């Protein structure tokens, strides 16, 4: 979704600033005439003269702006822009004063004017040149700031799009990874223990239904995730031949909190693969959830020990950590540590903003 302002709004804003700015300048000129020339200096002729100046500045500064846009001067470097702008402003000043002098001396002669002189004409050109430099400075600064904000917005939009694409890729990596492990388990049982294999097929169908239902979601309710973890643990307990024991301590206040899909399941899978599977007598897994310091705390404790030689973080867990980084930035925390002499604890802390 873009946040850029509509063209109609931008054009309206431009004309408000254009007319308002030159209008204030015209009022300033009239005020200066009254201040230094007295009240008699302000008459019908001087008012008409300033209106002609106003029209000339509005029209020709606008035409100069169109020329800038047509020739894409805003894309030039500062070193390329400044000399072009100064020459363009000088030419515009000559045109403005020629326009004003033709009207006031030939088309609509005004009373009380001093006779035409080239020295006066050059002085008026220089005066307009200085004023147009100020106008151009304001215009270019405004456009450069706008361009900078636009570039920053485009970078943010691109970053968001890349993160969304990365998130989808990671989610699509997690599910095949888990499915591959589950199918391997079924294959190992299908000939020697077909009844257990049929039960595993039932559980895996529930897992796949969950995966399909929530694959398009960034987050799911924790209670739904717990149900799928129970299916997963039943699958694994069949393979472990009653050597796997598990328990849940789920705080009721956490059940409706939304978390990334497959988050707890991947922690449990990692605990079994790198912890319990290498224990001859199997072991136990505890899954706990609670609220602490305005954050959801998920703890998965399993039998085993971490050693410097062991690497617990497989593809699925790494993908989970990447998803957490995308969804919550640096606010999410993950910790894997020995919690006692014979247990390992994985802690996932998700902020509740």
Q: For residue range 67-85, list pLDDT tens digits in order.
A: 999 999 988 888 899 999 9
66 and 212 together in one domain: no
200 token code pair: 């595993």
What is the per-residue pLDDT for 173? 47
Q: Which structural domain range is residue 327 located in?
A: 190-351
100 and 197 together in one domain: no
What is the per-residue pLDDT for 199? 78
223 and 346 together in one domain: yes
136 and 238 together in one domain: no
Question: Is the overall model pTM greater than 0.85, yes or no?
Answer: no
What is the per-residue pLDDT for 30? 85
Tally the domains of the chain. 2
Arithmetic mean of pLDDT, 215-219: 65
CATH number at residue 323: 3.30.565.10
**Spacing of C-alpha 268 from chain mean position:** 33
- For every residue of 63-132, DSSP letters joined together read HHHHHHHHTTGGGS-HHHHHHHHHHHHHHHHHHHHHHHHHIIIIIS--TTPPPP-HHHHHHHHHHHHHHH
């Amino acid at each position: 979704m873009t946040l850029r302002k509509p063209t109609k709004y931008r054009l309206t804003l431009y004309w408000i600033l254009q007319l308002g700015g030159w209008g204030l300048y015209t009022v300033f000129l009239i005020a200066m005439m009254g201040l230094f020339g007295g009240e008699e200096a302000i008459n019908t002729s001087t008012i008409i003269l300033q209106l002609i100046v106003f029209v000339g500045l509005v029209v020709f500064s606008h035409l100069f702006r169109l020329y800038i846009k047509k020739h894409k001067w805003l894309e030039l470097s500062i070193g390329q822009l400044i000399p072009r702008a100064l020459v363009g402003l000088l030419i515009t000043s000559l045109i403005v004063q020629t326009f004003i002098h033709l009207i006031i001396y030939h088309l609509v002669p005004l009373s009380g004017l001093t006779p035409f002189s080239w020295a006066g004409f050059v002085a008026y050109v220089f005066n307009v040149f200085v004023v147009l430099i100020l106008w151009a400075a304001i215009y270019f600064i405004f456009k450069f700031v706008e361009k900078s904000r636009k570039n920053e917005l485009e970078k943010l939009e691109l970053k968001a799009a890349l993160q969304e694409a990365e998130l989808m890729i990671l989610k699509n990596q997690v599910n095949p990874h888990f499915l591959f492990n589950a199918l391997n388990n079924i294959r190992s049982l299908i000939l020697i223990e077909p009844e257990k294999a049929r039960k595993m097929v039932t559980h895996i169908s529930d897992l796949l239904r969950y995966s399909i239902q929530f694959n398009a979601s960034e987050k799911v309710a924790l209670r739904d995730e717990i149900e799928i973890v129970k299916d997963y643990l039943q699958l694994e307990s069949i393979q472990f031949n009653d050597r796997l024991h598990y328990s849940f301590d789920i705080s009721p206040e956490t059940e409706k909190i939304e978390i990334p899909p497959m988050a707890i399941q991947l922690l449990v899978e990692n605990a079994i693969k790198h912890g319990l599977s290498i224990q001859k007598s199997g072991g136990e897994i505890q899954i706990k959830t609670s609220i602490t310091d305005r954050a959801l705390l998920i703890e998965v404790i399993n039998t085993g020990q971490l050693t410097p030689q062991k690497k617990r973080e497989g593809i699925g867990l790494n993908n989970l950590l990447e998803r957490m980084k995308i969804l919550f930035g640096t606010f999410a925390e993950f910790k894997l540590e020995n919690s006692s002499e014979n247990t390992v604890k994985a802690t996932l802390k998700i902020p509740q903003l």
